[in-house]
Structure 1
Amino acid sequence: MNVSCSFVIRWRCWLAGALITCAVAYPVKAEEVSITAVFKPDSAFPHRNKFLNTTPPSGYCASYPTECSDNEMFSLQVPIQFDSRAPILANHVSERQGAMLKVPAQWRELTVFHETTREPERVRVRIAGIGSRYKTEDVIQLVGGGDDYRVAHNLLWGFSWVNAPAPCLYSGVGWYTNTTYGFFWKTPAEAVCSKQAKFDVPWLRLEHLDFAYELETPNPLGMSSGQYSGSLTYSVGPNGDFDFGDVMLPSDSVLTLNFNLDVQHTLKVDIPPGGEKVQLVPAGGWQSWLQAGRRPVRLFRDQTFNISASSRFKMLLECELGGFPYDCVIHDPVSKRSVELQVSVSLPNGLTDLAGQPVKRRRLRVGPANAQQFQPGFYVDRAPGILHFEIPPQQMEFMLQPGVASTYRGKVTVIWDSEV
C-alpha cells in the first residue's frame, strides 16, 4: 500500500502605513505639523507591542532628549508667534491681561481609518508641555537699573521663568539674554498658568510655540496591515485650545496635527526541505497489515513548520480533488476510489483563536467561507507549529482491501492568509 499526499503552502501578507490629517474652519491662518509612528515587529523584543514614534523632534525634546524619553513624551516647535496688542501693566488684576497660557492637557480622542478597508481605530493625544522664548525691551531698563540680567528678568515677573507657576511644573529649562528668556513648562492639568508683571511691559512677543505631546495608539496586533488616516485640530488664541490670554494674539489661529501611523506586520511560514511531500502511514508502520492482514486504525502524518506572525491571519484549504463538503480527498486512479483527508493545525504559544483559546488540532476546512481565524498575543518569531494529516478510521475498511494493492494520491493547498 502506498499512500501519499503532497501539499502546497501559500500565504499572503501586506504592509501598511497611516496618515492622520487635521483641518479646522477658523479665521486667519493655520499651521500644520506631521507626526509619524510605525509598528514593525522586532524578534529581539517580541512582547513590545507598541508603535515607535518616528517624528523628528524639534524644540524641547531635541535639546533635552533624556527628559522626554524618561516621561514618554515628544516635542515639536512650530512658527506661531504671539504678540501683545497692548502694554502689559504692572500688577494687573486679571491674569488674562498679562502673560498666561492654558493648553489642551487632557486626553483627546480621534478616529483613524484604514486607507482601503476604512477599518476604524482610536488614537489619544494630550499636550504635556509648553514653551517658547519671550522677547521685550532691555529688562534692566524696564526694572529701573542694575547690572544682572537674570536678576532683572526675575524682578520683572516676580520670580524666574524656570520655576513654572502652578499647576504647571518645572522642567529644568531656562536661558536668557538682556531682551529674551527661553522657557519650557510641563502641563499636568488643563488649567491656566500665569505670570504677573511687576513693572510695565510696553510690548511682549513669544517667538514660537514649542509643545510636548503624549500619544496613545491602538494595539497594533489587532490592526490590519496598511495605512490609517485621521485628524485632530486645535484652535489657537483667546479662549481657544491654546489660550495665551487676551493680550497675546497669535500669528496663526489653528494648529493641525497630521499623524502618519505605519503598520508593518509580519506573516511568514517556513517548511523544512522536503516537507511539502507527506507520506501517510499507520502507527508502527505497515508490517501488521502486510504480514497479518491486520487493518490499521488510521493513517496519519504530522508535518512541522515554523511561523512568524504579528497580526491576525486565517487558514483554509484548497483541494485538487473535491468530494467532501469541508475536506479534501486523495484518489486511487486504478480502483477509482477516493477517501477523505482531514487536515488540522496546532499553533505555538502566543497564537490563539479569536476567543483567546489555544489552537490544538484545530480542523481546517475548504474555502474562504470556512476559514479559521487566529491572532497573536505577542509577536511570534519562528515558533514551531504542526500540520496534522489523517485518513479517519471510518475510511479504513473502504480504503484497504486484502490482496489489493492501491496507491492514493492528491494535492492539498494550505493557505495562511493575512487578509482577514
Structure 2
Amino acid sequence: MNLTTTCLRPMLRHGRWLGMLAVVAASSAQAVNQEIRALFTPDSANPQRNLFVNKTPVSGYCADYPSECRDNETFSIRLPMSFESASPMQPNASPRNSAMFSIPTLWRPLTVTNRETGETETVEVRIAGFGSRYILSDTAVNLTGAATAIEGHRALWGGPGGGWVNAAPPCAYSGVGMYSDNYYRFFWKTPVQGTCVKTASFPIPAMTYDYLDFSYELKTPNPLTMSSGLYTGDVSYRIGPGGDFDMGDVMLPSDPDLTLNFVLDVQHTLKVDIPPGGEKVQLVPAGGWQSWLHAGRKPVRLFRDQTFNISASSRFKMLLECEINAFPYDCVILDPVSRRSVELQVSVSLPNGLSDLSGQPVKRRRLRAGPANAQQFQPGFYVDRAPGILHFEIPQHQMEFMLQPGVASTYRGNVTVIWDSEV
C-alpha cells in the first residue's frame, strides 16, 4: 500500500537589513536628530543569546576608549552640539552658576512600531555617561597663576581632585582625561540620577563645551517574540536650563532639543529541510505486511514517521492543504479503482526549544487543514537544525473498511504540510 505526500521545504528569511547604515546627526538652530540602530539575527554559534546588537556607528568617547564601553556594554555618540557661557563664571558661585550637569540617567520607555504589521513593542533607554571638552578663554596658567597647564586645570576648580578627570559626585570616574594649555577633555559615567557640579576657584571670563558625547544603555524586547521587520520610534529630550540635559544657567546650548530615532531591525529565520526522498511517504503496519498476507491478521494501524530538520527564531504556524477533502475528515487518500477513501491523520512533534503558545512541548500535535485551523508555535531560544517528526497515520477505525481479504488496492493522495512565518 502506497501513500504519496508532498511536503513544503521552505527557507524563509524575513527582514530587509542589507548592511550598516550611516548615523545621521543633523544639526540646526532648532534640534539635533540622532539615529540609534540595532539588529537581531539568530546566531547558530550562540543560539541561547537572543539579543539585539548595536549597529549605530560608534563615535566620541567609546570610539577612543572601546574597552571602557565594552566592559559596561554601553555605546557612545558624539553630537554636534555646543554650549557657550552666557556670562563669566565666578568663583564659589551657586551650582546653577557653576559648571553643572543634570543628565537623564533614569530608564525612559518609548514605543517602537513595526512599519508593516503595526505591532508595537517597548524599548527603554538611559543615558549612562556624558562628556565634552571645555575650552577656556585664556590658558589655565594665566587664569590661576599655576606653574604648569595641568596644575592650572587642577587649581581652577574646587572640590575633590580639582581637575575634571575626577568626576563631581554622583557622577563617576571614567579613567580618562586629556588637556592642553586652554582645554580639558573629560567623560563621566552617570550610574544614578543627580546633579554633578564643578565650582570655579578663579574667575573664568568665558568658556565653551564644543561638543556633547553621550553613552547609552538599551533594554530591548525579546526578539523571538517579535515579527520580522523594522520597528521605529523616537524619544526627545529638552536641552538647557530646566531641561532633561541641564548644564546650569551659565552654559547655554546651541540647540534646545535632542531626538533619538530608534530603528530595531528584526531578521528571523525559518528553514525546514526534509531528507532526500522524504516527500514520498509509504504507510506500513508495524512489522510490515507479512501477518496480513500470510495469516490474514489485519494491522492495527498504518503509519510512517518522517523526520525533518528545522531552524526557527520566530513564531510560526503549521497547517495542511489536502488534495482530497471529505467531510468530516481533513485529508483523505483514495483508491482510484474502488473509489473508496480513508482518513489520513497528520501530526507533528517539534524539538526542544519549540513550544505552543502556552509554553507546552509539542508532541504528536494534530495538524488540520485550512488557515483557520493552523497551529501556532514559538521558540524559547533560537533552534538551529534540530530534528522534528511528521507523523502520518491511518487510524484504527478506518482499517476494517480499508482492508478486504483477497482484494488488492492502492490508496494515494497528496498532502501539503505548510510551515508559515506569517502569523
- Per the TM superposition, whether the score is higher than 0.5 is yes
Q: Look up the match of 2:232.
A: 229
1:9 is aligned to 2:8: yes
Distance 1:99 1:17, change over 3 A: farther
Q: Look up the match of 2:35.
A: 34
1:353 paired residue among 356, 378, 381: 356
Q: Look up the match of 1:21.
A: none
What secondary structure, in the 3-state scheme, does the structure 2 residue paired with 1:68 have? helix
What secondary structure, in the 3-state scheme, does the structure 2 residue paired with 1:67 have? helix
1:151 is aligned to 2:151: yes
Preserved CA contact (<8 Å) 1:13 1:419: no
Shift of 1:257: 0.8
Root-mean-square deviation (Å): 1.4
Preserved CA contact (<8 Å) 1:17 1:228: no
Preserved CA contact (<8 Å) 2:307 2:389: yes
Deviations along 1:152-184, one digit per CA (max 9) or x if unpaired, are: 011111201000011000001111011100000
Q: Look up the match of 2:49.
A: 48
Preserved CA contact (<8 Å) 2:9 2:273: no
Preserved CA contact (<8 Å) 1:125 1:214: yes
CA–CA distance in structure 2, aligned partners of residues 5 and 327 of structure 1: 16
1:105 is aligned to 2:105: yes
Q: Look up the match of 2:65.
A: 64
CA–CA distance in structure 1, aligned partners of residues 282 and 349 of structure 2: 19
Q: Look up the match of 2:122.
A: 122
Shift of 1:3: 2.7
What secondary structure, in the 3-state scheme, does the structure 2 residue paired with 1:398 have? helix
CA–CA distance in structure 1, aligned partners of residues 89 and 265 of structure 2: 47
Distance 1:78 1:404, change over 3 A: same
What secondary structure, in the 3-state scheme, does the structure 1 residue paired with 2:5 have? strand
Q: TM-score, normalised by structure 2?
A: 0.95
1:210 paired residue among 167, 191, 213: 213
Q: Look up the match of 2:191.
A: 188
Shift of 1:374: 0.5
What secondary structure, in the 3-state scheme, does the structure 1 residue paired with 2:141 have? helix
Any gaps of 5 or more consecutive residues in structure 2? 18-27
CA–CA distance in structure 2, aligned partners of residues 81 and 287 of structure 1: 88
1:293 paired residue among 296, 307, 318: 296
CA–CA distance in structure 2, aligned partners of residues 196 and 292 of structure 1: 102
CA–CA distance in structure 1, aligned partners of residues 222 and 62 of structure 2: 25
CA–CA distance in structure 2, aligned partners of residues 372 and 350 of structure 1: 16
CA–CA distance in structure 2, aligned partners of residues 146 and 163 of structure 1: 19
1:261 is aligned to 2:264: yes
Q: TM-score, normalised by structure 1?
A: 0.96
Preserved CA contact (<8 Å) 2:11 2:272: no
Q: Look up the match of 1:24.
A: none
Deviations along 1:55-105, one digit per CA (max 9) or x if unpaired, are: 11101100111110111111000010000000011111x100011111100
CA–CA distance in structure 1, aligned partners of residues 54 and 374 of structure 2: 35
Preserved CA contact (<8 Å) 2:329 2:343: no
1:96 is aligned to 2:93: no
Distance 1:326 1:81, change over 3 A: farther
Distance 1:17 1:9, change over 3 A: closer
Preserved CA contact (<8 Å) 1:321 1:330: yes
Deviations along 1:323-354, one digit per CA (max 9) or x if unpaired, are: 13452110001101010000000000100111
What secondary structure, in the 3-state scheme, does the structure 1 residue paired with 2:126 have? strand
What secondary structure, in the 3-state scheme, does the structure 2 residue paired with 1:308 have? strand
Equivalent residue letter for 2:132:
S
Deviations along 1:182-240, one digit per CA (max 9) or x if unpaired, are: 00000112211001100000001000000010011110000001111111111111110
Shift of 1:30: 0.4
What secondary structure, in the 3-state scheme, does the structure 2 residue paired with 1:395 have? helix
Equivalent residue letter for 2:379:
P
Shift of 1:11: 3.7
Shift of 1:54: 1.2
Equivalent residue letter for 2:8:
I
Distance 1:87 1:377, change over 3 A: same
Shift of 1:14: 4.5
Q: Which has the higher contact order (CA 8 A, sep 6+)?
A: 1
Q: Look up the match of 1:23.
A: none
1:275 is aligned to 2:278: yes
1:198 is aligned to 2:201: yes
Preserved CA contact (<8 Å) 1:11 1:418: no
Equivalent residue letter for 2:253:
P
Equivalent residue letter for 1:138:
T
CA–CA distance in structure 2, aligned partners of residues 306 and 241 of structure 1: 52
CA–CA distance in structure 1, aligned partners of residues 188 and 133 of structure 2: 12
Any gaps of 5 or more consecutive residues in structure 1? 19-26
- Once the two structures are aligned, what percentage of the paired residues are identical? 67
CA–CA distance in structure 2, aligned partners of residues 155 and 222 of structure 1: 55
Shift of 1:12: 6.8
Q: Look up the match of 1:22.
A: none
Q: Look up the match of 2:74.
A: 73
Deviations along 1:13-43, one digit per CA (max 9) or x if unpaired, are: 352269xxxxxxxx95101111111001111
What secondary structure, in the 3-state scheme, does the structure 2 residue paired with 1:193 have? strand
CA–CA distance in structure 1, aligned partners of residues 334 and 46 of structure 2: 47
CA–CA distance in structure 1, aligned partners of residues 101 and 87 of structure 2: 17
1:133 is aligned to 2:136: no
Q: Look up the match of 2:414.
A: 411
